Chain A
């Protein structure tokens, strides 16, 4: 796994959102193609990996899940630090989770790199009966935050790949735009912080 040749680009993603919105389910669905509503253990895992071909390149996604650790805010800001893309996840059947997106967004603004890519994800879109947040509301919020929006269902496997792929494409595009030659990314390392402020000095 330390062979840098088995992928062209590595990107690090982070899932944030209230507990119970289905972050872990999205992650499992995307990386293992499984959905286990009754018993999932994602607690012990540090991150999940999936390598996918994307527009002719092998993109290795390392995806981190922060569930349950939000209370230790100071020491967990390290998760944000090297994230290149962040999925802000809410549950379309839980209005509070939607309202709290604002808070999550501000956390990201505060702790992640300035140019980190984001996507708003409304999960559990299969539950039409229980839905309390409409598609339009989600779209409106995303437009206000100026980030893309997608509704997903980990349960029925709707749009899950699309959510991750869409974010990955954005990141890839940004890397190309900022002049990072993607062919060398695998070897020279790709670091969001270093690409953002490579010349700045040490922290006080």
Chain B
């Protein structure tokens, strides 16, 4: 609450009612014969008595029925809708005394003065929130009419506007908070804090959002019956709009706050709160969005199981949760094709329609078309060596190990956002994989002693080797860094300087799970490959935004390192790098994070050590 206000006006009103004083005064106006004593402070019994007396005299003298009035318990309830009943009755009775308006309804409060963009921004939050509250009230009325007139099956009504009561209750408190803040002067409002504090309460939208598709379907199915109530809400466009409304509102708070921040002077005392509120609203909407996505993914997984007619050896019970899916263009072996791509916890799966002439849309938003899927190929997440984002495109390149179903494939996304989502998800999976498999790996190594003594995934303990292209036009930056987690490095119990011996240790004894970064997953996958080879080091190379791994032997020369990097860049780095060999420079990042230029064999050896 803003400074200077101990509490919001609604709480004050509740307290006032609970004291019983207003009811006594009203009673004394209504009753000519007998006057009630005004109850003293904090005497709940006397308060209740005065409410009771008030109600009975209303029934007697004003010929009001029970349904026109409220219950005693309503006065002492914390529920806003009960309070509304009290207010409605009281204001009605006050109106009877005096034709002039009694209690002004909450929703028609005066607008704050409009001066300057900041005031306008605050006002916009307030006015639109009021309108939203009004719309919810309209919906509430509509739903009660639906029930009263038995218009659609009773069991469908809760699905039309699920959770409405909670939504309205929450909304009312939010509006009260906004009203309280809009009342005070612009320099002391606490709108930011209000939203930040209420962040968790926005969860109330989850039930609503999760059910939204179902609600819209019901509204559509029942259009005919709902015509009867079209004097309240027109069943097609208006009802459909109202069904979207709560989610639409949820998605707008962060925008409203952003605008408020924009017009707030930098010396505003609650600037941090405002930012916190803005972030909180982004998170709140995001959380609901994610919750809904999860549910839709579960449905998509069901549909996937149902509609896949050829599995091609994929075992549907080992897929794990579905994380992302979509129809994307895939490039593989120089051919481009649209595929349904599914990213499960354990598998990346490419499918296509068994009937290729069918629509390529698989949106869940629409009624599912009858379609059968054929699994074309799939790769275990644990067989994925690396995943690379191709710059200046929305492409993601996935490298599997050579024995997997997908040695190499490029997925073309439609935008940066989905590419990033997939990339992050795959990276996280690889990350988890290494943690899970660490223990397994050490037992395998233990059983096969010859392998364990010869093989090693060398993790460069220094962090980055970078290549500098000294092209006159362009500075190429190529970083190589080891698979050991950078941040935790100082915490690891092995010394930071003796990296070569440590990497061997990692390879031959047990893989230290904390020691691995996301990229270590790739290292892990390569572990098995490199078992036959002698003492390979896995090095992560960064080139512009490209990132890939190469295997080098610890005794590698400068020439062969360059050669390997160039080869890799040619393969993975896209066309824009043309002739890179002549002007490549390699830098590595040492344990202090400094980039050190490599010029010859000695530098390389030094770097590796």
B277 to chain A, nearest CB (A): 15
A109's closest neighbor in chain B, by CB?
B361
In the complex, the answer to whether A72 meets B365 with C-beta atoms within 8 Å is no
Task: List, sorted by A's number, 10 A–B pairs whose CB atoms are closer than 8 Å.
Answer: A2-B231, A39-B117, A44-B127, A62-B237, A75-B285, A79-B248, A107-B414, A194-B220, A197-B367, A203-B214
- From known contacts A45-B128, A72-B251, A200-B367, infer whether A193 and B299 are also in contact, taking CB-CB under 8 Å: no
State whether the Cβ of A189 lies closer than 8 Å to any Cβ in chain B: yes
Tier of interface size on chain A: 35 or more
In the complex, the answer to whether A44 meets B214 with C-beta atoms within 8 Å is no
In the complex, the answer to whether A102 meets B414 with C-beta atoms within 8 Å is yes
Q: Mark B503-514, 1 if CB is under 8 A from A, else 0.
A: 000000000000
- From known contacts A39-B120, A191-B223, infer whether A78 and B259 are also in contact, taking CB-CB under 8 Å: no
What are the residues of chain B within 8 A of A48 when measuring CB–CB?
Answer: none
- From known contacts A189-B237, A193-B220, infer whether A204 and B368 are also in contact, taking CB-CB under 8 Å: yes
List residues of A whose CB falls within 8 A of some B CB: 2, 4, 10, 12, 39, 41, 43-47, 62, 67-69, 71-82, 100, 102-103, 106-107, 109-111, 113-114, 187-191, 193-194, 197, 200-204
Q: Which residue in B223, B247, B299, B365 is a CB contact (below 8 Å) of A111? A: B365
Q: Which residue in B127, B237, B290, B368 is a CB contact (below 8 Å) of A10? A: B237
What are the residues of chain B within 8 A of A62 when measuring CB–CB?
Answer: 237, 241
- Whole-angstrom distance between the alpha carbons of A106 and B362 in the complex? 12
| Interface-centre pick from B241, B248, B368 (highest chain A CB count, 10 A) | B248
List residues of B whose CB falls within 8 A of some A CB: 117, 120-121, 124-125, 127-128, 209, 212-214, 216-217, 220, 223, 227, 230-238, 240-241, 243-245, 247-248, 250-252, 254-256, 258-259, 282, 285-286, 288-290, 292-293, 296, 299, 302-303, 306, 359, 361, 363-368, 414-415, 417
Q: DSSP class of B's interface residues: helix, strand, loop or mixed?
A: helix
- Whole-angstrom distance between the alpha carbons of A69 and B281 in the complex? 12
In the complex, the answer to whether B367 meets A75 with C-beta atoms within 8 Å is no
Question: Which 4 residue pairs spanning A and B have beta carbons closest together?
Answer: A189-B236, A44-B128, A200-B367, A69-B251
- Whole-angstrom distance between the alpha carbons of A110 and B250 in the complex? 23
What are the residues of chain B within 8 A of A41 when measuring CB–CB?
Answer: 120-121, 124, 259
What are the residues of chain B within 8 A of A10 when measuring CB–CB?
Answer: 236-237
B247 to chain A, nearest CB (A): 5
Q: Which residue in A4, A12, A73, A203 is a CB contact (below 8 Å) of B217? A: A203
What are the residues of chain A within 8 A of B244 when measuring CB–CB?
Answer: 78-79
What are the residues of chain B within 8 A of A187 when measuring CB–CB?
Answer: 227
